[in-house]
Amino acid sequence: MPNILVLGGTTEASALAAVLAARGDAAVLSYAGRVASPKVQQIPVRIGGFGGAAGLAGYLRSHAITHLVDATHPFAAQMSANAIAAADDAGVPLIALTRPAWTPIAGDRWTCVRDIGAAVAALAGPPRRVMLALGRMHVDAFAAQPQHTYLLRFVDAPVKAPELPQYSLVVDRGPFDVAGDQHLLQAHDIEIVVCKNAGGVGAVAKVAAARALGLPMIMIDRPALPARREVHAVADVVRWLDHEADRGV
């Protein structure tokens, strides 16, 4: 019988968890513990780091995990690298459930940059009204461009005030919808949107909203990851689980 560990934190991880619950599979979804109240899941949840790749390998062994599914966000690069190393060390099959990157369509005004630092640099110039749809973890880097008026969106109210001279803060969690994001951009008279190329559907609303309003975007490319088996659909993970289980791998 499979005993599955899902590394979660994404819309796709939640969708997979619901399918595993319906199938009656033994499965646990893991969160880092980044937000105060993570989404309630239909399978048991564990919260907190493992203690690096070695800690995760130890968890795989001590909990007799038979299959590891990395369904983390494309920017959770450290977790994904640790999953590859730990699965190899513990001899546990690994699959990644991830989302294809968003791609621009005709008329889009994207400036693609390689990381947060390049996004900060791309904001050099006269004051503008900028939406940073990046969450909380990287906002302080934008203090290097204090001339702008920022709109921030966090999952939780921050413990420490962001180090930006001029900002508005919205506390909200996705998945978001296009009408809501279009209203938000218009209400704050946003001139440019900065975001990560997260892919998927839970964060795409702002991309569609900016497109509808003809706004430029600074799109941060996702970090490169070591090679691993990757699928883009929950059904492909289920097929893998059944196939690998049949082979007794």
Q: Report the interface residues with ligand 3Y8, using CB under 6 A.
A: 9-11, 14, 31-35, 38-39, 73, 133-138, 153-156, 173-176, 195-196, 198, 200, 202-203, 206
Residue 142's binding partner, choosing from ligand NAP, ligand 3Y8, none, with beta-carbon cut-off 5 to 8 A by kind?
none
Q: How far is the CB of 33 from ligand 3Y8 (least distance, A)?
A: 5
CA distances from 178 to 104, 128, 199 (A): 17, 23, 15
At 213, is the secondary structure helix, strand, or coil? helix
Residue 45 tokens, joined: 């949840």
| Nearest of 15, 17, 51, 19 to residue 32 by alpha carbon | 51
Residue 39's binding partner, choosing from ligand NAP, ligand 3Y8, none, with beta-carbon cut-off 5 to 8 A by kind?
ligand 3Y8
Cβ pair 123, 218 in contact under 8 A: yes
Q: How far is the CB of 41 from ligand NAP (least distance, A)?
A: 12
Q: Which is nearer to ligand 3Y8, 92 or 209 (CB)?
A: 209
Residue 51's binding partner, choosing from ligand 3Y8, ligand NAP, none, with beta-carbon cut-off 5 to 8 A by kind?
ligand NAP
Side by side, the strands of the sheet bearing 230-231 are 45-47, 26-31, 3-7, 67-70, 94-97, 230-231
Q: Which amino acid is at 206?
A: K
At residue 37's C-alpha, the angle toward residues 35 and 40, to 5°, is: 125
Sites of contact with ligand NAP (CB under 6 A): 7-10, 30-32, 34, 49-52, 55-56, 72-73, 75-79, 82, 135, 196
Closest-approach residue to ligand 3Y8 (CB): 135
Which DSSP symbol is given to 36?
S
Q: Which is nearer to ligand 3Y8, 195 or 237 (CB)?
A: 195
Q: How far is the CB of 1 from ligand 3Y8 (least distance, A)?
A: 26
Contacts of 182 (CB under 8 A, 6+ apart): 209, 212, 213
Residue 128's binding partner, choosing from ligand 3Y8, ligand NAP, none, with beta-carbon cut-off 5 to 8 A by kind?
none
| Nearest of 244, 192, 203 to residue 102 by alpha carbon | 203
Q: Which is nearer to ligand NAP, 34 or 129 (CB)?
A: 34
Q: Which is nearer to ligand NAP, 160 or 247 (CB)?
A: 160
Residue 82's binding partner, choosing from ligand NAP, ligand 3Y8, none, with beta-carbon cut-off 5 to 8 A by kind?
ligand NAP
